Structure formats: structure tokens, C-alpha cells
Structure 1
Amino acid sequence: MNRRQILGTVAAILLTAAFVWWLAGSRLLEPVLVTLRQAALPYLLLILPLVVILQLARAARFVLLLDRMRAGGLLATFQISCVHIALNFLLPFKLGEAAFPLLARRLMGVGLASGTSTLLTVRLLDLGALGTLLAFSAALAVPDLAPYRWLLVAGSVLSLLAPLALLILAGHGQRQWGRLAAVGEVLARARSHGTFGKITLLSVLVWACHAGAAYLSFLAVNQSVQLAAAAFAGASGNLAFALPFQGIAGVGPVQAAFAWAAVLCGVALEPAVAAAIACHASLLVSGCLLAFIAIALEPRLRVWQRRVVADPPAP
């Protein structure tokens, strides 16, 4: 292991330990565990189809940006996305992000430059859509922010359009990229009128599914909340998940941010923490299950093996 991997592992252990220590020190651990044992499993099982939908939405964005609308393109990107997200859950320092361009090259013959620029474009869209959901749900669900409601709504609109502005600015530097022509092609595709609208709507769908998962988690722990409050809590947790440092399997900052946001919406701390843990566990199990199925069905996704099947030729 190199120094970065060691630091990431240590940071993950410390963050998870700090979260558990906080639960134990505030005497929340036992009541939260009791609440989770009594959680309504059917609500949590409904999160699995939501994860399938959001993975399909992610796959569709990759297909549009890579211009792989031919038969099999959606299935391949769906399989890649499943493995990619599962690795993001399990590996520290967001090392799972490196899996996408490698798997896209292995499974679809996509160049590393195209795969990396596609991933970065998607992450830019994710931040824009997530910022929109965060600001809009906060305007509806957080009582203390009521005086700033219209400002938050305006901010949510700007957040949704911000990726387009950045893509246009990036396009002006296209002549200076030289050999990275593939990057320019991906960005040109992303900022085109038809494609940008489609991938933006797909990004909104991704985070709407996350909001639905948060809402179902609150219902599972017998806590009634508004959909906007669940969306705000879920968006806060996902924003924390975007940080480079995470706990073991994402346990720590994500649940703290989720619970903090729910408390701002008027939810008691105990059910807020229970819902945060239930939501994260459901997303983690669902994501890993889909990744396992994808790897079982497609040998080329087994990154620990060398070229199990020859890579397809680039179109």
C-alpha cells in the first residue's frame, strides 16, 4: 500500500469511529439500534427498484455523452455504472472513480480520455442537479430559511444551469487541447441543445430517486416527514458523500449530514439518525447487489483478471 492508500484507510477508520463514538456518547446508539430492529422492511425493499432506475438514468447519460446509442450500449454502461458506484461505496479516497474509464475501455472500447472526460462531465451535472435539489427542498422544508425562500429557489435554477455555462467556457479552450480531441468531442456533445436537456433531466431523475430512498427510509422507521424534508436530508447526505474523505463503506459524515438536515426540518434526532443509517444501508446493499449481478454476467468487469475476453474494437 502506498502512502495515500494508508492515509485513506486510516481516515476512513477514524471517521467511522468518531461517528460511532458520538452515537454512544450522546446515548443514541441503543435507541437507534432498537428503532432499526423495528424498521419496516417492505419500505426498505422498495429502495432497490429506485436504485435500478437511478442506475439506468446514469447509464443513459453515459450513452448520450459517448454517443453509443447502438444496441447493447445502454446495457454495457448500466453494468459499468453498477460496478463503479459499488466501488465508490467500498473504497476510500473516491478510488472507485478511476474504475469508470478503465471499465468503459474494457467493455466498450472507449479511450481513456473520452471515458475520463465523460465521467467529469457527469459529475459536473450531478453537482448542478444536487445543488438544485438541496436549495429547492431547503426553501420548502427548513422553517428558519423561510425568509430566504425565493432566493433559494433562484439559486436552485442557477445551479441547474451552471454546468452549461462551464461547458461553454471549456469549449473555448478546445483549440489548445491538441491531442485530447476526444475530450472536445464529449464536451461538444454535452453542451449541444438536445443532449444537454436530456442529460440534465436524467441527472434530476437520479437525485429524485435518492430523495425517494430517503423518504422511504423515514417511513421505515415510523417517522412521518414531508417529501421536501426527506429530499433535503438525502441531498445533504449525498453532498457529504462527495467529499474525498469518507468513513468505512461511507459510514460517518454521510449519516451525520443526513441527520443534521432532518433535525433542521423539525425531525427528532433519534429517528433522523435511524433513517440516515437505514437509507445508507439500503443504498449500499442494493448497489453492491447490482454490481455482483453485473460482474457475474459480464466477465470483462472482473478488473482483477487480465483481459478475460478481448476488448471490442473501437468504432
Structure 2
Amino acid sequence: MVSLSPLFPSWLPRLGRPRDWLVGLALLTLVVVLVEATLGWSSVLAPWARLPPSVLVGAFLLTATSYLLRAVRVLVYFQTELCGRFPEVLRLSVLHNSANNLLPMRAGEMVFPWLMHRYFGHDFLAAGASLVWIRLLDLHFLGLIGGLALWVRAPNPGWLVLLFVWLSLLSLFWLIARLEFQSREGITGRFLRFLEALSRAAPQSQRRVLWLYFWTALSWSLKFIGFALILGHFVPAALWQLVLGVMGAELSSVLPFHGIAGSGSFELATVAAMVPLGVAPAEALAGAVNLHLFLLGATLMLGAMALLIPVQRKDR
């Protein structure tokens, strides 16, 4: 058997740890049994027969376009190193997102630095640090969407002030890039190297941050619209409730557990977001399950299409 240890630094999680797959399998089994015991799979899946094809196709195209725009964001982030290699960047981005949606315990995140090394010869630590900034951009925009949805629910000038303050936090992205980390007592060498890599990987200018945020906002907006179209077919709820339900599903990645293909955590986070907003638990669970099925179907289709994109590896 070929050892992968030379390819994966010790600070990166390994794909396919037995414990992760066992926990993931347990969560998947729990979801299947719970849905059958409480709602019945036949009743949960029945609304698919009434879903207009235009809605399904539209939601898929919006999701696919959001993946395309995420690849554009990666190209903008690494514009010097990856200039002129958009097909490979698109393949990398789609496979990374597919792995995130399918692998247990967020192991899919390591696919990004791994593929950056395989396709472009990029350093593992530098690619991992860049991914941290990309995820911070994602979280910032998710916070902005959440604030806007709450403002729509209960318009108040205070929400607008908070949103303005929230947007001003973007300045931290290019300010941190100017920090210099020096060895000091109490900071281990490995941690210090990671801080240095994080600082070097930060967007180096205000213009770069704004461009990255533009592509982040556009890609997430299209994905939210697509997901809200699907969720709205299964759950009779207002748009702001649907948006916050989709946000709960997306934020499921921060939970301490994450099953195979997100099973368990995805549904729990979606239900936890919608029930306090007045959505019936049974409707929220049915909507979460069907939204998850749509996500998995789109993931498998887009991931298979990405594998057809030719690439020249740089790790040979």
C-alpha cells in the first residue's frame, strides 16, 4: 500500500479516519430511522412529484453558477500563481466543495490544500492559511445575510447600524496582513509558523479584499436563492424564514459532529434555525431532509462533471 504521509503534513487531518466514518455512519443511520419513525419516508418524498421542473432546473443552475463563482474567487485570490489556469481552478474548487459535502467530520477541507499542491505545486501550509481567510469571508457574508433577514422580519434602524458596523470589520482583513509575528516566549514554533503563514496569506490590499468579497457575496446569494426555491416548495414559510433555514443548514459545518454527507448535522441545524421562527418541527424536518437530498444530488452531478476537466499535475 502506498503511504500518503509524505503528502500530508501532520497538522492536516487525514481522510477516512475509521472513527470519523463510524460516527458518520451512525448519524446517517439515525437520520434514516428517525425520519421513517416520525414522518415516514414516503410522505417526506411525495412533494417531489409536484415540484415544477422549472424550479428544480433553476435551483440547480443557480447552485452550479455559485460553484463557478467560487472558482472565480479562488482565481482572484491567487491571481499571480493561477493566472490563465481557470479550468484547473474550477475542477479544484468543485471537487473541494464536493468533498466538503460528502466526507465526514469536515475532512473535505483538507482537499483544498492537497489539490493546490497536486495541481499547482502550492505549499500546503500557505494554501491552508489562505483557506482560513476564504472561510472568514464566507462567515462574514453569512452574518450579513442573517442580519438582513432579521431586519426584514422586524425593520428597525438599529439593525442597519449593526450591519454597517459588521461591514466595517472587513478592514481587518487587510490590516492583519500588515502584522509581523516574531518569536516570543510561550508561543511554539509550529503555532508561530502558522500565524506567519496566516498573515502572509491574507489579502494584501483593500481592493483585493473588496473584489474577493464581491465574488463571495454573488456566489452565496445565488446559492441561497436556489436553496430557498427548493426549501420553499416543502415548507410553507416566509422568505426570511426560508433564508434563515438555509443559513442554519450552511452553518451546520461549525457543529462538533458532521456525519457522512452531512447527515444529522445538516438536518439538526436547519430544524434548530426554523423552529424558533414559528415553523412546525415536522415541516422543518421534512424540508431539511429534502433540501439535503437536493444538495447531495447537485454535489454528485457537479463533482462528476468536474472530474471531466483535464488537469496537469505539478506534484510529480
TM-score, length of structure 2 as denominator length: 0.79
Where structure 1 has 5 or more consecutive residues not aligned to the other structure, the ranges are 301-308
Q: 1:171 aligns with which of 173, 178, 183?
A: 178
Q: Deviations over 1:267-300 (max 9, x none)?
A: 44444333322322222222222221222222x5
Alpha-carbon offset, residue 29 of structure 1: 4.5
Alpha-carbon offset, residue 33 of structure 1: 2.8
Which moves more between the two structures, 282-291 or 155-164?
155-164
Alpha-carbon offset, residue 182 of structure 1: 6.2
Q: 1:89 aligns with which of 89, 97, 101?
A: 101
CA distance 1:258–1:155, shift in 2 (3 Å) = farther
Aligned-residue identity in percent? 22
Q: 2:137 aligns with which of 101, 110, 125?
A: 125
State the alpha-carbon separation in 1 of the partners of residues 75 and 143 from structure 2.
24
Q: Deviations over 1:12-49 (max 9, x none)?
A: 12323333444344346443233344433431222221
CA distance 1:45–1:4, shift in 2 (3 Å) = closer
State the alpha-carbon separation in 2 of the partners of residues 293 and 80 from structure 1.
12
Q: 1:311 aligned to 2:281?
A: no
Q: 1:73 aligns with which of 48, 66, 85?
A: 85
Give the match's secondary structure for 2:257. coil
Contact 1:211 1:230 in 2 (8 A): no
CA distance 1:183–1:270, shift in 2 (3 Å) = closer
Alpha-carbon offset, residue 310 of structure 1: 4.8
1:1-315 aligned within 5 A: 5-27=17-39, 29-68=41-80, 72-141=84-153, 146=154, 149-165=156-172, 168-169=175-176, 171-174=178-181, 183-187=198-202, 190-221=203-234, 223-298=235-310, 300=311, 309-311=312-314
CA distance 1:3–1:78, shift in 2 (3 Å) = closer
Paired amino acid for 2:228:
Y
Contact 1:51 1:287 in 2 (8 A): no
Give the match's secondary structure for 2:307. helix
Question: Would you tell me which structure has more helix in proportion to its own residues?
Answer: 1
Contact 1:19 1:256 in 2 (8 A): no
Contact 1:82 1:290 in 2 (8 A): yes
Q: Deviations over 1:134-176 (max 9, x none)?
A: 23213324xxxx49x5555444444444354265246323556
Paired amino acid for 1:87:
A
Paired amino acid for 1:6:
P
Paired amino acid for 2:113:
P
Aligned residues: 295
Q: Deviations over 1:238-280 (max 9, x none)?
A: 0113335212211222123223433344444444333322322
| Structure 2 residue aligned with 1:306 | none
Q: Deviations over 1:71-92 (max 9, x none)?
A: 5333322210100011111111
State the alpha-carbon separation in 1 of the partners of residues 199 and 122 from structure 2.
15
Paired amino acid for 1:186:
A
Contact 2:125 2:194 in 1 (8 A): no
CA distance 1:277–1:203, shift in 2 (3 Å) = same
Paired amino acid for 1:42:
S
CA distance 1:55–1:137, shift in 2 (3 Å) = same
Q: Deviations over 1:181-200 (max 9, x none)?
A: 7654431xx15111111111
RMSD: 3.2
